[in-house]
Amino acid sequence: MAQQSDKALIRLVLAGGTTINPRTYEVLPNSVISIRGERIVEVGRKDRYRASTDDEVIDCSGKFIIPGLIDAHIHLERWSCDYLISFGVTTVRDCGNWIPLMKHFTDKIQKTEWVGPRIFWGNPAIESSVKGSEEKDPWKIRDPAHAARLAEELIAQGVHHIKVYNRINEADLKAVMAVAKKHNIPVIGHFRDVGAVAAARLGVRSIEHGIGIPEDSLSEPLRLPADYNDDDLAQRFRYWQFVIWKSIDEKKAEHVADVLIDADVFVVSTLISDEVRRPEERQRELDFLWENLPKSFKHFSSNPGIALSWNDEDYANFASSFKKEKTWFHDFYLKGGKIAAGTDSPVPFIIPGYSLHEELRQLASTGIPAMDVLKMATANAAELLGMQDQLGSVEEGRLADLAILDGNPLDDLKNTLRISKVIKSGKVYAPEDLRKEKTPERLRSVLPAQRPCS
């Protein structure tokens, strides 16, 4: 016991680096960050630092220190936990997963049996049923009364947020919102059918991937083929999700942005997964990481599946739509809109941890300055989580989540990948030790069944 007490007194000191704090826009050269236990206790200049013989000092001369990154939209898997830490991602917001799995992951990480990020998790997404009272799927909402019961059940299971999906209608969303507000639980989701404007006015916290924004901004209704089937992903992506931005009216899109800002709604960007690339091109781009990725992920990514039906014209349409989407995000930023950076990993070719750095570069390519891009993956994401007093900033009293970089990210955002060390809750990790191929554990067979409400 005495040994543990003595260890708790040891101060971890990061000395001589340049501290970059996107929340305050402060850049502090030749700095000292002092950490005790899991928290930052002091941030100041090195010339004011008074060493103690008990200090554990990391020389950060020539290095740059930023807050630990936050991926605001992810779907966590076992293999990705330490991979995320290795890329400086110390917190994630899981946006649709199996609840017993999330509880299991959280327990293992909190007990330090696994290396992994801090997790804020939700539910398998819920949406309105087209079958009404005949619906058998427990995650499809039959009517507003069922929506309210389902929301209560999810909250009882401990979700940090409730996620709704494309087909949620306004009546069912109102019922979910009433329950969520009573318990102070945020509602997030894809608001394709109900629209971003109605969702914002009902009080949702965030719009994922921007879904619902172009739907409210169309110059004319989408022209869908007579045999269009929304359950067919190839058709949904080809005729709707990956082309809809191409058809927006700029004035209407500006109005949607104004409504979101007035309602204090976050938009979570996942530009890296919204940019549709040919599978063979994307795999070549990731060759340097490919060897250490799990076989299951490589198979999932390399099997072209729905992309087999796409042709050159489709890819040209996707690119045109993506360009307009990026322009909207830039304009939303200029208006003062709140953006948090996400990835949607591990969808095909979107790698946990690494792809958040790609997302930062996508956001920068719209014309957003590097400091504000970093803020979207730190302070903004922390605010979205309701953790702005704990995470996303290099300040006294905050949790000691940090990334030490070998290059200045304000000069070039590619430098966010030049990671020397990662610190989560005061514990130091070497990235290279965490990027090793692992066989995903078979967890679902040993965990309790998911409990949807009836």
Please state whether beta strands 127-128 and 56-59 pair in parallel, antiparallel, or not at all (unpaired).
unpaired
Tokens of 197: 């404007």
Domain count, the chain: 1
pTM (2 d.p.) = 0.94
Question: Could you tell me if residue 193 is inside a domain?
Answer: yes
Check residue 174 and give its pLDDT.
98
Q: How many CB atoms lie within 10 A of CB 280?
A: 11
Residue 76 belongs to what H/E stretch? none
Quote the tokens at residue 12.
């971890």
- Domain with residue 75: its CATH number is 3.20.20.140
**pLDDT value, residue 377:** 98
- The DSSP letter of residue 39 is E
Per-residue pLDDT at 8: 55
Q: Spell out, as residue ranges, where the chain has pLDDT lower than 50.
A: 1-6, 439-446, 454
pLDDT at 359: 98
Whether 436 is in a domain gets the answer no
Parent domain of 96: 68-391
User: What residue type is 430 in one-letter code?
Assistant: A
Q: Which residue has the tokens 């899981």?
A: 94
Q: How many residues does the chain have?
A: 454
Whether residue 17 lies inside any domain: the answer is no
Residue 45 falls inside a structural domain: no
The pLDDT score that the predictor gives to residue 443 is 45
Q: How far is CA 112 from CA 74, 123, 212, 250, in A?
A: 21, 24, 39, 49
| Contact present, 300 and 282 (Cβ < 8 Å) | no
Answer whether 87's CB lies under 8 Å from 353's CB. Answer: yes
**Phi–psi pair at 248, nearest 5 degrees:** -80, 150
**Per DSSP, what are the bridge partners of residue 362?**
none
User: In terms of Cα–Cα distance, which of 271, 322, 278 is closest to 304?
Assistant: 278
142-174 confidence digits (pLDDT tens): 999 999 999 999 999 999 999 999 999 999 999
Rounded Cα distance between 218 and 454, Å, is 37
CA-CA distance, 271 to 153, in Å (whole number)? 33
The pLDDT assigned to 304 comes to 62
Residue that the structure tokens 């006294």 belong to: 396
pLDDT at 451: 53
Structure token digits, residue 452: 């949807």
Strands 26-36 and 11-21: antiparallel
pLDDT for position 58? 96
